[in-house]
Amino acid sequence: MNQHILKHLRQYSSNIREINRLLVSSYLKVNNFQNISNEIIKSYIINQDEEIDELNKFSELFNDRPFTLEQLIEFFEFVISPSDKIVNGAVYTPKYIRDYIVSQAIEDYDGLEDLTACDIACGCGGFLFEYALKINQETGKNFIQIIEDNLYGIDITAYSIERTKILLTLLALSQGEDKERIDFNLFIGDSLNFDWFENSPLIEANGGFHFVFSNPPYVGSSNLEEETKTLMKNWSVASTGKLDLYIPFFQIGLKWLRRNGTLGYITVNNFYRSLNGRALRSYFSEKNFHFTFVDFGSEQVFKSRLTYTCICLISKRRGYLNYTSSTPENIKDLSERDFLNFQYTDLNDLHGWQLDDAKTKLNLDRLENSGDKLGDLMNIRNGFATLRNKIYLFSPINEDDEYYYFEKDSISYRVERLICKDAIKPNILKNEIDLETYNEKIIFPYTIIDENNRDLFQNSQNRRVKIIPENHFRENYPHAYNYLNDYRDELSKRDKGKREYETWFAYGRSQALNISGFKLLFPYISNAPYFVYTNNEDLLFYNGYALVSENEAELLFIKKLLETDVFWYYIKYASKPYSGGYFALAKNYVKNFSIPEFTDRERQYFMNLCRKSTINKFLLKKYNIIDIEL
């Protein structure tokens, strides 16, 4: 909302009629309404000379922008006095939340033009407004008929009911519908002792409402009036723990809901584990209602108050608990596969519904299914296996243009540089600096060739390796040949001497000898997400893995993603644990981690992030994950 408008409205918050007149008249002025016959709206039109200037001043704050009915709802909630907000628990419900609740509730129903909805704590009418829009969109029924036939509401404050009437009337006027007097089904009263059947014969004849929508009041025990505390004792669900006004509103809403009807709430989420929710949990289990529960955890929905909330969609029929966790912004993307089902008999009403394991399962599912799998995007390769690394590998103590020099078993050796390659052990790497520190050389008695059997000096997609003929090895690299020959007996013991090799100096296995490309090296097991990048395309590696790609930018993006707490959370729950806080990083444990689709802007933003907390927050939203300990 425009801060200038809010600042202007603050001075009116204590005078209900004045603020109503200013808002109604401004809405009409900005949207060019004229010749209105509705009595309620006419009663709020400013026409006194001394007030016209104030109206013009306020209207100009919109700067030729539209003044929408959604803004009017926000303004009405904004100007409620702080004391009333404390006592009555009023708070503005964002449109996307109302839209989701109403859309989900009506999804399986036909003939909306005949179906009634009630808000038992209607505030300024946001949910009734939303339901009216849905009926009109799906059936074409005009808004005045919808208001008179389909919408019901009650609130404890008279000004809330008056503002609901204003909102719904302006909704009709916005579509060219005008009527001198609209017959509203709106009541000033306390839902804790209000009897809908006594006040509405039609609803009694129908057996209740088809839908009950609401944002029940958020009022804790310390702010409850004595009369309210007394009335709450009439509702069995409020019989355990400290009183909290939202809890009986479940039982109230379900009482006035007809069979097979649906209740849709945005409300506090701690009833499923708190002491004062114990009786409510037992009530749900006893009734065995079909309950869809979208838990927002600690994610905030309301700007004006720190409240942990959830969406509850309860059908008045037998069923089970259908649970998921989500960030508020991602509810529109939820599908059936995002929910876990629980039978009430498997839940503990006394000590609380243990849904933490369910959250973990949902989190893992989203980490695996929010985009393409890592194993599909990247080539995940294992390292080489000579079966006698201590013979083939060495760390030079000196070198010149022709030879590397090293010691083995207290004997000095030199081997030809041209028969050697760089090698590294990912299991000991922590960062890119370690590449130089722990770099080794390996005697490589192979030629890399292409499919046409030609020696390769450049990269190719059709690379394979071929052992150097022994006579060629002996004649061209005599020092390396003689060194290996000194250990010929030891090499013969590989595979317990039961396997015949292509030649006596061939590696025990021929895997991972021709891996070309940029690499992201990582260990078999680790206590942290270490992923080390190298642009040495011919670097050989052992005792570890590598993600291999020809796309350097993509590999660096994956590196940053895999080094996060979010990836490590996945590993801790999806991988094999070892002692000391170590976990396996085998291909089967990392390949199913998914990479969400990033726009170019998101990718650039992510790559520029430095603070761990900001990175985590960004990624958790991408994966639609809440309330995890990273």
What confidence tens digit (pLDDT) does each residue in 243-256 have?
A: 999 999 999 999 99
What confidence tens digit (pLDDT) does each residue in 209-244 have?
A: 999 999 999 888 888 999 999 999 999 999 998 999
340 pairs with which residues across the strands? 323
Q: What angle do CA 591, 593, 595 make, to 5 degrees?
A: 115
Mean pLDDT of 481-496: 94
Q: Helices H, strands E: what count in the chain?
A: 27, 27
Structure confidence at residue 13 as a pLDDT band (50, 70, 90) = low
How high is the pLDDT of residue 83? 57
Best CA proximity match to 619, nearest among 555, 562, 573: 562
Distances 60 to 20, 64, 120 between C-alpha atoms, Å: 17, 7, 36
What confidence tens digit (pLDDT) does each residue in 331-346 have?
A: 999 999 899 999 999 9
Distances 370 to 333, 589, 618, 630 between C-alpha atoms, Å: 11, 17, 14, 19
What confidence tens digit (pLDDT) does each residue in 556-575 have?
A: 999 999 999 999 999 998 89
Distances 309 to 3, 301, 312, 478 between C-alpha atoms, Å: 26, 7, 10, 75
Least confident of 45-54, 160-169, 216-225, 251-260: 45-54
518 pairs with which residues across the strands? 549
How high is the pLDDT of residue 81? 67
Mean pLDDT of 534-555: 95
How high is the pLDDT of residue 496? 87
CA 308 to chain centre: 16
DSSP secondary structure code for residue 529 in this structure: -
CA 138 to chain centre: 30
The answer, yes or no, to whether residue 452 has pLDDT greater than 80, is: no
The answer, yes or no, to whether residue 460 has pLDDT greater than 50, is: no
Handedness of CA 616, 618, 623, 629 (dihedral sign): positive
The amino acid at residue 623 is Y
Structure confidence at residue 519 as a pLDDT band (50, 70, 90) = very high
Mean pLDDT of 307-333: 93
Structure confidence at residue 78 as a pLDDT band (50, 70, 90) = confident
How high is the pLDDT of residue 461? 46
In terms of Cβ atoms closer than 10 Å to its own Cβ (0-12, 13-18, 19+), residue 297 is middle
> Which residues neighbour 594 within 8 Å (Cβ) at sequence distance 6 or greater?
367, 368, 369, 370, 371, 372, 373, 374
158 pairs with which residues across the strands? none
The answer, yes or no, to whether residue 87 has pLDDT greater than 60, is: no
| C-beta separation of 151 from 185 below 8 A | yes
What confidence tens digit (pLDDT) does each residue in 59-72 have?
A: 888 887 889 999 99
How high is the pLDDT of residue 170? 97
Mean pLDDT of 513-525: 93
Structure confidence at residue 539 as a pLDDT band (50, 70, 90) = very high
Domains of the chain: residue spans and CATH: 1-67 (no CATH), 68-354 (3.40.50.150), 367-379+516-630 (no CATH), 384-514 (no CATH)
Three-state DSSP string of 419-444:
HEEEEECHHHCCCCHHHHHCCEEEEC
The mean predicted confidence, pLDDT, of the chain is: 91
Q: What is the pTM of this model?
A: 0.76
117-119 and 151-155 beta bridge pairing: parallel
What confidence tens digit (pLDDT) does each residue in 410-421 have?
A: 999 999 999 999
What Rg do the C-alpha atoms of the chain give, in angstroms? Answer: 35
Alpha-carbon distance of 103 to 116, in angstroms, equals 15
How high is the pLDDT of residue 304? 61
Phi, psi of 482 (to 5 degrees): -65, -35
